[in-house]
Structure 1
Amino acid sequence: MADKELARVRTNFVAKVSKAVIKQLLDDLLEDRLLNDGEVDSVLEDNTGRADMARCLIDTVKRKGDKASRKMIEHIEKRDSALYAELELSSGPKPVAAPKKQKTWSDKLVPMTDSSRQEKMNDSDIYKVSETSLKSRVALLITNRNFTDNNLTRKGAEKDEENMEELLSSLQYEVVKHNDLTAKNIEKALREFTTHPKLKDTDSVFVVIMSHGKRGVVLGVDHREDKPDEFPVDKIYKLLGPQKCSALMDKPKIIIIQACRGATGGAVIVSDSVEAEVVSDEERQEPPPRAGQIVEDSLRYVHKEKDFISLLSSTPDTVSYRREDLGSFLIQYIAEVFNTCSHEDDIDELFRKVMQRFEEFPDETKRQMPTKDRCTLTRRFYLFPGH
């Protein structure tokens, strides 16, 4: 026990500790709230000599028990390591930290409480959300699965589409869906979306695009090596910006891109299950892998418009992965985090938690880290689930 350690070294401590160290120890213990102001004053003012101060200090702390004694020993080591060594002190074994509780992820949306909802609706630091705007929410969801080049078929993309549509619908967004678009038709779908009648009353929009890709572009379904079919990601921000879509001015625009941003990375994940292998969405991948593999997706973009926040599925020049049986890791994690945490966290924090999920990737041979890119939100944005 640490208090017995102090008792053992009391005589030598009193004889050898300096006045400067006594004052430092008093400050440390006061900061730890193990001594109060009165006790500190008593040590300094009721004792005229250094030895008396030392004696009063060690006796006061020793009477407070093991925790206080252990902290004092730790502070002695920090303030005067030579004295610590000479006294042959030990604070004993450090208490074992309780194991970190594993997060349980919900597959259904956890609703925001009425009190939290009311508080956030009246907070000027939060983007305005009202009962009317909640009923006018709209999202664009583009999923490219089937390509002219059959080698580029994105198995598992249908699961991503299902997961995103379910999540957005549960958050009261009307989901405008498109499938298997060329680059030209991706732009056309975005232009049509900017004229949607609900935009003038909505509080926000989501734009989710899932395809193959590479740095700066998403690939259309007619893409070939000798005849590229590429949609520049930067056009999203131009088309949704204030010059092209005034209805969305000062409203959050949340962009999610599930596509590679390059070809770096792509070792095969070794799995215990044939149905759970990993493939990528980088367009130059090998012929279609077996069922359950993960695919890579590449891209990079720049945007300067206000009130955007974007989550890209990987860092520049790297691949992102999906499982053909469960869909991409990004979309899986977005659904889990949003369902579990959107009742208490804003969109920026939700994206951070999604990124945190990738710190422990399902396979040691692969790494993927989504990128939260160029956030220009000026306030916090909450999704208000359940209302």
Structure 2
Amino acid sequence: MADKELHRVRPDFVDKVSTEVIKQLLDGLLFDGVFNDGEKDSVVEENPSRADKARVLIDKVKRKGPEASRRMIARLQKLDRTLYCELGLSSDQPAQPAPAEPVNQRGLAPPIPTVKEFWRSKKDDPEVYPVTQSSFRNRVALLITNIKFSNESMNRRGAEIDEENMEKLLSSLGYEVVKYTDLTGKAIDEALMKFIKHPKLKHTDSVFVVIMSHGKLGKILGVNWTEDNLDEFPINNIFKHLGSKSCPELINKPKVIIIQACRGEQRGSVLVSEGPNTADDVPQTEDFEADKLHFVHPEKDFISLLSCTPDTVSYRQPDRGSLLIQYVVKVFSPESYLEHIFELFTKVLQHVERFRSCEKLQMPTIDRYTLLKSFYLFQGLLDNDH
């Protein structure tokens, strides 16, 4: 039985498993339904040393029985083949595929499909935004991070960590990252206008636009901002520039906006974001041929994640970066291809909402949601392609 196998290898597992593999095992077992959020978090938060985490992890899984133990063994085989073999599991306990249906009262999930299997199951679904291998190769994202300001007291310590983490995340999702650092409000606008002329937009399936800076309601602050020089970028311009009129190449394609910036000065939120306002009017025309001209919505297929609610501030840790970006990176895990973008953003909201540090509370928002279908990122789709 698999639980007896875990008992057999327990001493060596505790001695040899790495912290990173422990984290990945916990994420996988949470996804499988072996652990809930509280159980997963308790392993990490209540056990300071690596060995203690490993000991508690394997003991918790053993107590859940053979099926949970099989899941952990299968996960370990995938995550650390060397350790899996060293423990003697490769010959004594080959990884078992999970049953097609839950087999016990724990309600464990069915087998996890690979990225390509999942993509094949969705690629012809009319309720899912289309992603082809060709469009995946043409993904492109815009990343703008303001770190150093003319007024040095406004410098955003830790923002360089956000920039690095977001660039890595976007790259892992298949996006070529067009990156700018320390822009004025006018330069942010110009960067967006240049971005909508990117040659890949015609062939991509989606875009990300991530802007991180100081902010206030409806505005992103440029690096030269002072009370006497309102160097600002209107957030609504993002939607105007990427909308149907200015950027027809992105019609019917998901446009994902993430803004890390304050939206005011009131406490109760974290260091992030901004929410846009109104859309352009559809141009009116009297004379047109029905087979050549057609109306389109000026703003469609958007979803934006803002770090906080209106009029509140966002929080950033100088040694770890902003809360919003920390949890975006956490939620967009290697296995998050199984969830569409709204589900992923909802998980980010839940993580940030649960964060507690004295009176510092933050509530991100999903804003201007006009996606008409489910958008799956299918990260890893082209891995191992030749």
Q: TM-score range by the shorter chain?
A: 0.5 to 0.7
Q: Kindly, what percent of the aligned residue pairs are identical?
A: 55
Aligned position for 1:138: 140
1:101 equivalent in structure 2: 39
**Could you tell me which residue of structure 1 aligns to residue 343 of structure 2?**
349
Aligned to 2:274: 299
> Equivalent residue for 2:211?
209
Gaps of 5+ in 2: 1-35, 45-78, 80-111, 280-298, 382-386
Q: Which has the higher contact order (CA 8 A, sep 6+)?
A: 1
2:152 counterpart letter in structure 1: N
Amino acid at match of 1:216: G
2:177 matches 1:239: no
SS at match of 2:211: strand
Distance (Å, rounded) in 2 between the aligned partners of 1:165 and 1:101: 31
Instruction: Report if the CA contact (8 A) 2:261-2:307 is conserved.
Output: yes
**Letter matched to residue 333 of structure 2:** N
Query: Distance between the aligned counterparts of 2:274 and 2:258, measured in 1?
Result: 12
The one-letter code matched in structure 1 to 2:354 is: E
Q: Is 1:112–1:385's contact at 8 Å kept on the other side of the alignment? A: no
Per the alignment, do residues 112 and 385 of structure 1 end up closer, same or farther by CA in structure 2, a change over 3 Å counting? farther
1:258-337 correspondence to structure 2 within 5 Å = 258-265=260-267, 296-297=271-272, 299-304=274-279, 305-337=299-331
Counting only pairs closer than 5 Å after superposition, residues 81-160 of structure 1 correspond to structure 2 as: 100-102=38-40, 112-160=114-162
The AA in structure 2 aligned to 1:368 is Q
Hey, what's the Cα distance between the residues in 1 that align with 2:336 and 2:38? 22
Distance apart, 1:341 and its partner CA: 4.8
When residues 140 and 124 of structure 1 are mapped into structure 2, their CA distance, relative to the original with a 3 A threshold, is same
Give the aligned partner of residue 169 of structure 1. Answer: 171
Residue type matched to 2:367 in 1? Answer: D
Whole-angstrom CA distance in 1 between matches of 2:353 and 2:143: 27
Structure 1 residue ranges without an equivalent (≥5): 1-97, 267-279, 281-294
* Cα distance in 2 between the residues matched to 1:169 and 1:262: 31
Partner SS state of residue 355, structure 1: helix
CA distance in 2 between partners of 1:111 and 1:370 (Å): 31
Is the contact between residue 276 and residue 368 of structure 2 (CA under 8 Å) also seen in structure 1? Answer: no
Q: How far off is 1:115 after superposition?
A: 1.8
CA 1:374–1:112 in structure 2 vs 1: closer, same or farther (change >3 Å)? farther
Distance in 2, matches of 1:377 and 1:344, equals: 18
What secondary structure does 2:338 align onto?
Answer: coil
Residue 112 of structure 1 deviates from its aligned partner by: 4.6
* Residues 143-201 of structure 1, C-alpha deviations (whole Å, 9 max, x = no match): 00000011100010100000000000011100000000000100000000000000000
Q: Which residue number in structure 2 is paired with residue 373 of structure 1?
A: 367
Q: Distance in 2 between matches of 1:129 and 1:303?
A: 29
> Higher mean Cα deviation, 360-369 or 183-192?
360-369
SS in 2 for 1:147: coil
User: 1:365 and 1:341 mapped to 2: Cα distance?
Assistant: 33
Cα RMSD over matched residues?
Answer: 2.3
**Aligned-partner SS, 1:376:** coil
Equivalent residue of 1:263, what SS?
Answer: strand
Q: Which runs of 4+ in 1 moved over 6 A?
A: none
Offset of residue 385 of structure 1? 1.1
Which whole-Å CA distance do the structure 1 matches of 2:258 and 2:182 have between them?
17
Letter in 1 for 2:179: K
For the residues of structure 2 that align with 1:200 and 1:155, how far apart are their CA atoms? 37
Amino acid of the structure 2 residue aligned with 1:101: E
- 1:141, 1:208 within 8 Å by CA — same for their partners in 2? yes
Q: Distance in 2 between matches of 1:264 and 1:352?
A: 23
Structure 1 position 113, deviation (Å): 3.0
- TM-score in terms of structure 1 length: 0.64
SS of 2:332 mapped into structure 1 = helix
After TM superposition, give the deviation of residue 300 of structure 1 in Å.
3.2
Shift of 1:117: 1.3
TM-score, L = length of structure 2: 0.64
Name the aligned partner's letter for residue 363 of structure 2. M
Partner deviation per Cα, 1:45-79 (whole Å, 9 max, x = no partner): xxxxxxxxxxxxxxxxxxxxxxxxxxxxxxxxxxx
Distance 1:123 1:99, change over 3 A: closer
